[in-house]
Amino acid sequence: MIFLRKRFFLFIFIYFLIIIKVHAIDTKADSAVILDVNSNTILFEKNSDMKQGPASMSKLMLTYMVFERLQNNSLSLDQEFIVSKKAWKYGGSKMFVKIGDTVSVNDLLKGVIIQSGNDACIVLAEGLSGTEDNMVEEMNDKAIELGLTGSNFTNVTGWPHKDHYMTLRDIAHLSKEIINKFPEYYYLFSVNEFTYNDIRQFNRNKLISIDGYDGLKTGRTTQSGFGIAASSKKNNRRIVSVVNGLNSDKDRINETKKLVNWAFREFITLDLYKAEDTIQLAKVWLGKEPLVPLVLNEDLAITIKKKNLDKYKIKLVYETPVIAPIKKGDKIAELHLIEGDSTKTKDIYAGKNIDKISKFYRSFSIVNYLLFGVSN
């Protein structure tokens, strides 16, 4: 018997009335990256894969490690750690902890995030992992797990070292992970000031005083220049911007504002499907049910240039009918996201199990197909 399966195409065209020209953008930062968090789309990049000293922006990795422990209840905000001589003596920016004192995790997090305290980083690392070296090893393991392929840590503070580096792409990805995974702790990045040991310090991220901006972390060393990982939210859309290699705090603020405003102005993000939404019902051959739902395994949002809204199309491609047995989670199709000459693909899966019919009914179905073209 010759059984012919057809290749199925579903085109979905998206039309909008407003067409806005996208203007080119550049930055005087040595490196930069703009990420749309909702769709995980890079909108702009400049030397984004260059390994470089991240300075205190690498404190985001330590912060991730603490948030993860808080979330899985292996750590609490009121838990206290003892300040060692090493932490007390550590140079650079400080929370100004005192040797021998016990400090709560809540205060230490504020010391890291708001005051960029190197001493607070050491207290957390030693309290959580025994030594700074142990925490560094954990951070590097977590970087691999998160797919931060351009990062390596030799300390928990961001202190300059030839083998301590990150790419701005990695910093943007790490920022997105913190925002998405730990919403209950992310608010700490927007706290404007913190007083410890009667020393009042303001958040080094001055962008949080501007409407829409709500975190993350600055960084600055002589070698790296001024940098910042910043996040801004507008109309349920979130942009992460990372810049580095600038000459002043004013420059990193102004360059970030310019890039973020451009991203919001020139692009639009559309929420297309939620995970497990049925995109299409595909015909089934020799199955106990005639149709199988085709679904995504994660939410799908797209970010596109506003000028290309009338040109964007989505194409669902699969072989039809789908032959039983089918297991939920089997890859069945591909969703092609086409913007001009660029095409991205997403895998589409079976949304349920479909068992194969018995031999008797299989013979009956084959006869039906040969005589009448009925596939089930």
Tell me the C-alpha to C-alpha distance, in Å, between residue 175 and each of 37, 230, 311.
9, 8, 32
Quote the CA–CA distance of 44 and 67 in Å, as a whole number.
29
Produce one character per residue of 104-121: b if its CB has 16 or more CB atoms within 10 Å, e if not.
ebebbbbbbbbbbbbbbb
Q: How far is CA 158 from the centre of its chain?
A: 21
Tell me the C-alpha to C-alpha distance, in Å, between residue 206 and each of 159, 313, 369.
22, 40, 70
Quote the CA–CA distance of 2 and 327 in Å, as a whole number.
25
* 245 close to 30: Cβ distance less than 8 angstroms: yes
Quote the CA–CA distance of 356 and 323 in Å, as a whole number.
9
Q: What is the largest CA-CA distance in the chain?
A: 89
Produce one character per residue of 212-251: b if its CB has 16 or more CB atoms within 10 Å, e if not.
bbbbbbbbbbeebbbbbbbbbbeeebbbbbbbbbbeeeeb
Which helix (H) or strand (E) segment is 336 a member of? strand 331-339
Strands (E), 65-221: 80-82, 102-104, 193-196, 199-202, 213-221
Torsion angle, alpha carbons of 246, 249, 252, 255, to 10: -110
Task: Decide: helix, strand or coil at residue 101.
Answer: coil
Q: Give the residues across from 21 on adjacent strands.
A: none
Q: Give the residues across from 304 on adjacent strands.
A: 268
Residues with catalytic roles: 56, 59, 116
Produce one character per residue of 360-370: b if its CB has 16 or more CB atoms within 10 Å, e if not.
eeeeebeeebe
